[in-house]
Structure 1
Amino acid sequence: MFLQKLKDIKAFVLDIDGVLTDGTVHVTETGEQLRRFHVRDGYAMQRAVRNGYLICVISGGKSASVLGRLNGLGITDIYLGVDKKIDVYQNFLKQRRLSPEEVMYMGDDIPDIPPMKACGLPVCPSDAVEEVKAVSAYISPKAGGTGCVRDVIEKVLKIQKKWFDSEPSAQDDTITSA
């Protein structure tokens, strides 16, 4: 059932803290918040964007450096400082003319549950809270910030025969200054 649903996916909706990062926020003396992203997640997101998939990021956090990192990967649907993720999720579907069955949502905590219940394929990292695991169709063996996003994007692209490139570019691994 899970593998069959991968064939219909056209968009990935992701949380940041606990999904794209390990959930740790380092705060400098000046108040800047620093997060750590996994480059393999970045590579997978770039591959997805280059293959025509939509990627939407919805987060309660706000950070200019996060915005820079995501823009550098080619992601344009970025919503930061969001209180009710379900409203942003539904608006994204409407704007992009997507059906819920065409969307995979990866979340890790309580605020992600409403949009996860509304999407076609809810997934989570291995270290998600139990309530999120309970509504997920797939639990990645990878924890947040350690390649869980790569895990699910790679599965979709492989099932749809869009993963492998016989002549990969070194640009695929470029890290932006975010």
Structure 2
Amino acid sequence: MTELPPKPNRDELTERASRVRVLVFDVDGVLTDGGLYYGDGGEVMKRFDVKDGHGLVMARHAGLRTAILTARSSSIVETRGRELGVSLILQGRKDKTAGFRELLTQLSVAPEECAYMGDDVNDLGPLGLAGLSACPADAAPEVRQEVHYIARNRGGHGAARELVELCLRATGQWEATVQHMKAPEALQAVKL
């Protein structure tokens, strides 16, 4: 196995994270554990982690927008994205580079103001464009070589929340967001 190139130092990583206005996530292998469950009628289940979901909710409460960019299409993803208040859900985008550019246009944001988390080689295009690129711990080796940040957690097991926390800490919003989430009125509206 080839040795990974050096990752940005903590200061550079914090600088990149502090510029993020939109967090973009792949689905299978990032927001889910990558398992696809099929019944007679087609795909019937995906496993999402509530910690990741709560991370996306926290991002929204801190003023960061979230987006989903996935090559597959599923009503399950649409439902989960709406539950979490995701700003934009782009499904069926086999060419993820084109999908990422479409997302940038629709959200009127520059690439350097985006974080993108992906897990496989079809994510390399957006990862190369994003100001902050990230992947779960169990991402493909080619992806781990290219990203700025490798989460400690696997896809669908807290990796997305790690990226949210990194960005909120970089902007000094983490503690205020945690305090906000303690308020009973904040929790009433939260679907994890």
Q: Considering the TM-score relative to the shorter chain, is it more than 0.5? A: yes
Q: Which residue type is aligned with residue 171 of structure 1?
A: Q
Equivalent residue in structure 1 for 2:136, among 103, 113, 125: 125
Secondary structure of the equivalent of 2:41?
A: coil
- The aligned residue for residue 3 of structure 2 is none
Q: Which residue type is aligned with residue 149 of structure 1?
A: A
1:106-125 maps to which residues of 2 (within 5 A)? 106-125=117-136
Alpha-carbon distance, 1:88 to partner: 1.4
- The aligned residue for residue 139 of structure 1 is 150
Higher fraction of helix: 2
RMSD: 1.5
Answer whether contact 2:124 2:143 (CA < 8 A) is retained.
Answer: yes
- The aligned residue for residue 59 of structure 1 is 70
- The aligned residue for residue 166 of structure 1 is 179
Alpha-carbon distance, 1:52 to partner: 1.9
Q: Give the whole-Å Cα distance in 2 for the aligned partners of 1:171 and 1:86.
A: 37
Q: 1:60 to 1:163 in 2, by over 3 A?
A: same
1:57-96 maps to which residues of 2 (within 5 A)? 57-96=68-107
Alpha-carbon distance, 1:152 to partner: 0.8
Secondary structure of the equivalent of 1:82?
A: coil
Q: Which residue type is aligned with residue 156 of structure 1?
A: C
- The aligned residue for residue 153 of structure 1 is 164
Tell me the TM-score normalised to structure 1 length: 0.92
Q: Give the whole-Å Cα distance in 2 for the aligned partners of 1:50 and 1:161.
A: 14
5+ residue gaps, structure 2:
1-11
Q: Which residue type is aligned with residue 174 of structure 1?
A: K
CA deviation map 1:147-166 (0-9, x unaligned): 00000101111221222332
Answer whether contact 1:46 1:172 (CA < 8 A) is retained.
Answer: no
Percentage of identical aligned residues? 32
Alpha-carbon distance, 1:173 to partner: 5.2
Answer whether contact 1:43 1:172 (CA < 8 A) is retained.
Answer: no
Tell me the TM-score normalised to structure 2 length: 0.86
Q: Which residue type is aligned with residue 170 of structure 1?
A: L
Q: Give the whole-Å Cα distance in 2 for the aligned partners of 1:56 and 1:166.
A: 24
Answer whether contact 1:44 1:154 (CA < 8 A) is retained.
Answer: yes
Q: 1:55 to 1:113 in 2, by over 3 A?
A: same
Figure out how many residues of one structure are paired with residues of the other and give that number.
175
